[in-house]
Amino acid sequence: MAPQATKKADGDSTARANALDFLRTMLAPRTDPYEGADLITSRRVTAALLGLSSLLGLAFLTFEPPDGALGSGGWVAAVVLLIAGLAAGALVALRSPDFDDLLLIAYAGVADVAVLNWLAGGGASAYAELFVLWLGVGAVHPPRRAFTYLAVLLVVLWLPVLYGDASGHTVTMLASESLLILAIGVVLTAYLFYVRLQRTGLRAGAEVARRLARIDALTGLGNRRALDDALIAQTAGHARDGGPLSVGLVDLDGLKRVNDRYGHLEGDRCLQEAARAMEQSVRGEDQCYRWGGDEFVVVLPGTDRPGADRVLERMAADVGRVCAGDGERGLTLSYGVAELPPDGSAEDLLALADLALMERKTEKRR
């Protein structure tokens, strides 16, 4: 087979496989069937189509009198239904119905059109054309519900054959309208489902990007942005509940020696191992963050200063076993611990920990 023909065959096979995958995804049961759906837009669509259907129904009264089934009483019933539709459209626009409510409204709209069609005598009356508008109301729902709704709509469309005109002309008109409604309904439902899938993917991607923007790429710990957010939240909780809050400001000693002797790749590996040791040495509610370079911050909620000292002592012992070579000592920690004072801020807490760290380094040099 020629290369071009092979390429075309492969492309066709891929397209068929993608189409089948999409179809399976569309019809598969989902934990949240409305994932990715836009409730506000769905309300607006339902309200707009409900109002438009009612206005067109009022316009159809002039050339499609609703007196085929009840005589003059049909006018009263039709006007009441159409005015009720306008009022319902206004309520949907002004209130906050959920998706289940919108689906019930869609079924009620189909029933109203069926009643108008019956009042006009059934068959291929102008009111039957309003079913096309109600496709948009049903298509905003998940495929399984939308296709069930579409099937009900098609059944209702054919009711005139049971109670009214069953001539060949009527059957032909209903068959052609059914094919049109079926085609539009399937395409519209598939398209809106695809839009929801894309929106879900974009939201998931944005959430991943948001998390990655708060993680230090080398160590996997939270970065400076995540630290700032955590301290703001913790200090707000301290102000509300009054529990203790401490932080430890950590400086990793010996990393420059590793970089100078073995290279920066080995230094990065040691930094990663030190970060893992820090995480493993703290409690579940404590959090470690890389502040920058070889400096780290440990946030210790519900911990006073003596308790924070004990946590940092254990951390220093664990990190001291990292990157220890033959005859060489491993990395060491210098740390300063501070407890949030009454009415203190996150900046005050970090400043106190920084001061404690400088004092400890000064003592080491003596």
Task: Please state which CATH number belongs to domain 224-365.
Answer: 3.30.70.270
327 pLDDT band, cuts 50/70/90, is: low
List, as one string, the DSSP characters of 91-106: HHHHS---HHHHHHHH
Lowest mean pLDDT among 40-54, 80-94, 205-219, 324-338: 324-338
**Which pLDDT score is estimated for 322?**
78
The full 3-state SS of 57-79, as one line of letters, equals HHHHCCCCCCCCCCCCHHHHHHH
User: In whole angstroms, what is the distance from residue 298 CA to residue 312 CA?
Assistant: 9
| Assigned token pair, 229 | 């957010």
Could you tell me how far CA 136 lies from the centroid of its own chain?
Answer: 23
Distances (CA, A) of 103 to 43, 99, 108, 245, 299: 10, 6, 9, 50, 49
If we measure between CA atoms, which residue out of 335, 217, 114 comes closest to residue 226?
217
Residues of the chain with CATH 3.30.70.270: 224-365
**pTM, full prediction:** 0.64
Is it the case that residue 328 has pLDDT exceeding 90? no
Positions annotated as catalytic residues are: 294
246 pLDDT band, cuts 50/70/90, is: very high
For residue 332, the cross-strand partners are 253
Query: pLDDT per residue over 168-188, tens digit each?
Result: 777 888 888 899 999 999 999
Phi/psi at 249 (5° precision): -100, 120
